[in-house]
Amino acid sequence: MRFLTVLFLGLLTLSQSAKAALDIVITDGMDTARPVAILPFTFEGGLLPLQPAEVIGADLRNSGKFSPLGVNAMPEQPRSVDDIHYGAWATKGVEALVVGTVKPYGEDKYLVSFDLVDVLRGQVTGGNQQRLADGSLVKSSAHILESRQAVISSRQFRQYSHRIADIVYEKLTGERGAFLTRIAYVVVDNDPVYPYKLMVSDYDGYNETVVTKAKEPLMSPSWSPDGTKLAYVSFQNRTAEIFVQDLYNQRREKLTSFPMINGNPVWSPDGKKLAMVLSKDGNPEIYVMDIASKQVTRLTDHYAIDTEPSWFPDSKAIVFTSERGGRPQLYRVDLSSKAVKRLTFDGEQNLGGSISPDGKYLIMVNRTQGNYRIARQDLETGALQVLTKTELDESPSLAPNGSMIIYATLYRGQKVLGLVSVDGRFKARLPARQGQVKAPAWSPFL
- Name the residue ranges covered by the structural domains of the chain: 29-173, 182-442
Q: What is the pLDDT of residues 37-55, one digit of tens each?
A: 999 999 988 788 999 999 9
Q: For residue 98, with 0-12 CB atoms within 10 Å meaning exposed, 13-18 middle and 19 or more buried, which class applies?
A: buried
Cα–Cα distances (Å) from 162 to 4, 149, 180, 209, 341, in that order, read 18, 14, 5, 18, 41
Q: What is the pLDDT of residues 28-38, one digit of tens each?
A: 877 779 999 99
Could you give the CA distance from residue 442 to residue 355 in angstroms, rounded to a whole number? 14
What H or E segment, with its residue span, contains residue 58? Answer: helix 52-62
Strand partners, 70: none
pLDDT the model gives residue 127: 53
Residue count of the chain:
446
**Residue 220 CB contacts under 8 Å (≥ 6 apart), including other chains:** 231, 232, 233, 263, 264, 265, 439
Strand partners, 404: 421
**Residue 366 CB contacts under 8 Å (≥ 6 apart), including other chains:** 346, 347, 349, 350, 372, 373, 374, 375, 384, 386
Helix axes 157-173, 52-62, angle to 10 degrees: 50
Contact at 8 Å (CB) between 405 and 392? no
What H or E segment, with its residue span, contains residue 199? Answer: strand 196-202
Q: What is the pLDDT of residues 137-158, one digit of tens each?
A: 446 678 999 999 999 999 999 9
Q: Can you identify the CATH homologous superfamily of domain 29-173?
A: TolB, N-terminal domain (3.40.50.10070)
Residue 342 backbone phi and psi in degrees, to 5: -75, 135
What H or E segment, with its residue span, contains residue 430? Answer: strand 427-430
Could you give the CA distance from residue 275 to residue 289 in angstroms, rounded to a whole number? 6
pLDDT the model gives residue 123: 85
Could you give the CA distance from residue 310 to residue 315 in angstroms, rounded to a whole number? 10
| SS3 state of residue 422 | coil
Contact at 8 Å (CB) between 105 and 151? yes
Could you give the CA distance from residue 194 to residue 235 in angstroms, rounded to a whole number? 13
Per-10-residue mean pLDDT of the chain, 446 residues long, equals 36 47 81 92 89 96 94 95 94 96 94 96 67 51 92 96 98 97 96 96 94 97 97 95 95 95 97 96 96 96 96 96 96 97 96 97 96 97 94 95 96 91 92 88 96
pLDDT the model gives residue 132: 47
Contact at 8 Å (CB) between 405 and 393? no
pLDDT the model gives residue 422: 94
pLDDT the model gives residue 23: 81
Q: Can you identify the CATH homologous superfamily of domain 182-442?
A: TolB, C-terminal domain (2.120.10.30)
pLDDT the model gives residue 126: 54
Strand partners, 273: 290
What H or E segment, with its residue span, contains residue 2? Answer: helix 2-12
